[in-house]
Structure 1
């Protein structure tokens, strides 16, 4: 039996896709301005254990810093410019903590998909710490965030500290036993590279009582194919193209 699903179909990738610097509060505000009520973000740990938002293991692409983000303390990460790489309009935009984003989402009634994106070698620990923070931040809220990760150990860590927060396994390519791992972890959903879904896989996953989500869907034909297949969630960069009310 499929559990109740409180989340919207449309999810804004990293806040507003590519229209603003990803994983910054500016991006989430822009996604919200386009009508989105659910956002995906990436969370990893600073050297002193603060969950913050960034996709890459290294700082180089999306900040003024260099090297591995997880090697720096939060006081150092907080000084970085996470906006100039995108555009001059966003110069000086800081990296947010997970706490920052949680407060913004809770105050505005938005939903959040937290992808646990550990620095390599810290998978289980990152899951535990993100789980602890999320359990505290969303305590008493009717709808918790949705955890996801490509790393089963990260999901296991989150389950250990926040077993009540739902989990989803991210899959870029089908690997032997991946669906069994999702079930063993008590996942409520599979989040696939959108090209992997076909009618048989959707039927199999939904037949197990799991939800079917897709990333990163930026073309109308791909979105329509997933809707026709009866999938449950679509993560997109194109907050300017797809209406989340659809």
Structure 2
């Protein structure tokens, strides 16, 4: 069995202020400044009901009222877009004052919009505290949205004006609120390399004013450089893309794929035997409307948890943790996610009885208290705290990492949409490894490898091995 790699166990800015700063950095004076400002629009000279010259709103719903641009829904769940600028804009900073007037939907700031390729948009939901309250996502009208990065935050929006900005800088896309960076992704190369700018609303009415678009210098070679260390690959719930999740069949395929580790979810039966199962209920995988914890092991073993994935898996049974450890021992490591709190001792007793060596297993959990309990029972067992809601504020992220260290974590895990390069670097700086789930696309795997993520959880381990060579 290949050992776990050592790396995996690592112990309100407004437009006027911006113009002043821009002016200070230009040696050519006002003539050069004028060349760098492409749009400077406050709508004072635009008649009510109209749009500035060169602005278009194909779906309607956008017009000037008073001295501001108003965008609002004309029907439920209708996306309304206004686009402006030139199709060759590449390295730009676009910003505007935005006020949420009413509605529960979202507003977005669009960059690199073209008729032929997918652009990018910074989406701000009316409730930014939700896990995806802030998003960087693809911007093609009429196509399913592809989310590249999300975060959440405590921001009062209703009736409040905030300065929103988006920068496109080579392959970097960055979003700001009141001068603070809230999102970024280096995946700009996966959308159009250039294009126009715009706004979009869905289910909200907003007031937009003081729109400014300025040209940025091209990024330096240092800004475009990434590390290239190969990450550890973990088969998520076994090879769950090809076999029923959390079964011996899925673990066998994980072994055959040649990855370093498999991940599984563990709960207790009614007689307190650790078994592999993700959901608290048996309904999705076994068709039984009862909880795992309500049945003893003998009854659980009678259930078919394979047929839902296909007839060739009919008769697949719920494995015990002991059976799973026996199957993978000496072949790959097992990352055991402890689902409910309070079962730590039973899980670790089984692992100890299996005679595991250092590097044979890790413990994952969404509960920090579980991590703390495991560390108390076995300080040598690597632990990873799973985080499903990443805040955008730097001080909140520092607190989160400090909490992870206090709990004795060896690493932190994130869903792919929260895999922010700054957070990954910050975790590494304090000695924490980073794991990301669920990675099922080659482009995602390459991106996460570039930003130095330590472990990738995938449903498709047989393909991942070729993606991250």
State the secondary structure of the residue aligned to 1:178. helix
Shift of 1:110: 1.1
* Partner in structure 2 of residue 114 of structure 1: 336
Structure 1 residues 185, 51: CA separation in 2 closer, same or farther (over 3 Å shift)?
A: same
- C-alpha contact (below 8 Å) 2:240/2:246 kept by paired residues: no
Matched, 1:82 2:305: yes
Q: 2:285 aligns with which of 62, 70, 73?
A: 62
The alignment partner of 2:423 has SS state of helix
Give runs of aligned pairs for residues 185-196 of structure 1, distance below 5 A: 185-196=407-418
In the alignment, which residue of structure 2 is the partner of 1:4? 6
- State the SS of the aligned residue for 1:39: strand
Could you say what secondary structure the match of 2:6 adopts? coil
Aligned to 2:450: 228
Q: How does 1:192-211 map to 2 (within 5 A)?
A: 192-211=414-433
In 2, distance between residues paired with 1:239 and 1:229?
A: 20
C-alpha distance in structure 2 between counterparts of 1:12 and 1:88, whole Å = 22
- Describe how 1:125-204 pairs up with structure 2 within 5 A: 125-139=342-356, 141-174=357-390, 176=396, 177-204=399-426
Does the Cα contact within 8 Å between 2:240 and 2:460 map onto a contact in 1? yes
| Structure 2 residue 265 is the aligned partner of structure 1 residue 51 | no
* Match status 1:215 vs 2:424: no
Task: Report the RMSD for the aligned CA atoms in angstroms.
Answer: 1.9
Aligned length: 237
Q: Give the whole-Å Cα distance in 2 for the aligned partners of 1:6 and 1:109.
A: 18
- Distance of aligned partners of 1:179 and 1:128 in 2 relative to their CA distance in 1, 3 Å threshold: farther
Q: Structure 2: where are the runs of 5+ without partners? A: 10-230
Tell me how far 1:10 sits from its aligned partner.
Answer: 0.8
Which SS does the other structure have where 1:156 is aligned?
helix
In 2, distance between residues paired with 1:148 and 1:193?
Answer: 13
Q: C-alpha offsets along residues 132-170 of structure 1, whole Å, 9 cap, x if unaligned?
A: 22233234x242311011111222232232222110000
1:179 counterpart SS class:
helix
Question: For the residues of structure 2 that align with 1:242 and 1:143, how far apart are their CA atoms?
Answer: 21
In the TM superposition, residue 114 of structure 1 has moved relative to its aligned partner by 0.6
3-state SS of paired residue (1:183): helix
In 1, Cα distance between the equivalents of 2:256 and 2:324? 16
- Deviation of 1:6 (Å): 6.4
SS at match of 2:409: coil
Length-normalised TM-score, structure 1: 0.90
Work out the CA distance in 1 between the residues paired with 2:373 and 2:350. 12
Whichever structure has more helix as a proportion of its residues is 1
- Which SS does the other structure have where 1:85 is aligned? helix
After superposition, where does 1:92-111 map in structure 2 within 5 Å? Answer: 92-106=315-329, 108-111=330-333
Structure 1: gaps (5+ residues): none
| 2:166 matched residue in structure 1 | none
Q: CA offset at residue 5 of structure 1?
A: 4.2
In 2, the alpha carbon distance for the partners of 1:73 and 1:17 equals: 25
What secondary structure is seen at the aligned counterpart in 1 of 2:335?
Answer: strand
Pick closer, same or farther for the CA change 1:202–1:151 going to 2, 3 Å: same
Task: Tell me, in whole angstroms, the C-alpha distance in 2 between the residues paired with 1:6 and 1:170.
Answer: 15
Greater relative contact order (Cα < 8 A, sep 6+): 1
User: Counterparts of 1:231-246 in structure 2 under 5 Å?
Assistant: 231-243=453-465, 246=469
Conservation of the 8 A alpha-carbon contact between 1:135 and 1:165: no
**If the length of structure 2 is used for normalisation, what is the TM-score?**
0.48
Distance 2:447 2:346 in 1: 37
Query: CA shift at 1:43, angstroms?
Result: 0.7
**Do residues 16 (structure 1) and 239 (structure 2) align?**
yes
